[in-house]
Amino acid sequence: MTCPLPEAATGRLRGAGCEIVTLPDGVPLGDAARHGALVGVDALVCTLTDRVDAAVLDAAPDLAVVATVSVGHEHIDTAHAARREVVVRTTPGALDAATADLTMLLILAACRRSSDAEATVRGATWTGWRLDQHLGLDLDGGRLGIVGWGRIGRAVAARAAAFGLEVIHHARRPTGDASFVADLDELLARSDVVSLHVPLTPDTRHLIDGRRLGLLRPTAVLVNTSRGAVVDEAALAEALHAGRLFGAGLDVYESEPDVHPRLRSAPGVTLLPHIGSATVRTRARMADLAVDGVLDALAAHPTSADRDRPTRRRIPYRSTATAHEETQRP
């Protein structure tokens, strides 16, 4: 494991007979791999900050599964993993509600410019109530454009309706929903708030670039809780400083933990440190799904211990997710 998991999750691994080795804090996975730390490892539990490239995979000749405690897997060389017949497991669905909640927080914060307002209180520069002070935007009667119509995008739409927002959305393929807008440029031009919910792929890198930022109204707000590189940070910072955009709310960045310096000083922007899934219940569920992935894969593949002791009898493992699904059947 590249980081400690909640005790309930590690307890399940120990209960299944796994020996757990956790990398020391601050040791990059690549460095550990080069020093032989992955020799004899059957399963790797990692996070989105770990680069699981071909060199790391090849440094673990016995590896059967990589379970990442994240929905995205762009940090893993999945093509090389497939060639090595290494299973890659993610944690889909576990963080939908938490990320949708945080998206609404950022929409509200950016529209009401709460970060700028809070800074006057913390900096002791607030001089009292004024009629023209800290004026923001109303959500009621506005239009929210959602880019990406997966589970999180739809969860945001459900929450947005409670605030009186009309929702339109764009996806790669027609969704059959009446709110679908086929052309992304059209959605940007029509929206008061734009929220991004797409995976990071070669096609979505800098999907929102300088040209597309120019399609947004000067009174519009951009929110990103997907992946930082979906937005050209330099272009966004320039638009905010130039007043061509009312505000932005960001939880993700191109080169985390580094943030573009002009974003830090931009007006009307709320910056959070990638906390979309950071609730106790959500992170515990993500860890549990990662453990499911590990135990499912190890039940289906011989481990290094099995190869040393070929007569060892393996006990089939049924994941908690599978068990839950079975209890829900009529």
Catalytic machinery residues? 227, 256, 274
Q: Burial-class residue 109 by CB neighbours within 10 Å (0-12, 13-18, 19+).
A: buried
**Distance (Å, whole) CA 185 – CA 208:** 10
* Nearest C-alpha neighbor of 70 from the set 276, 281, 325: 276
The residue whose two tokens read 């959605």 is: 187
Is there a contact between 289 and 321 (Cβ–Cβ < 8 Å)? Answer: yes
Backbone angles phi, psi at 261, to 5 degrees: -60, -30
- The residue whose two tokens read 């071909």 is 54
133-136 long-range Cβ contacts below 8 angstroms, 24+ apart: 136/111, 136/112
Q: What are phi and psi of 136, to 5 degrees?
A: -115, -160
In 137-219 the beta strands, taken as DSSP E runs, fall at: 143-147, 166-170, 193-196
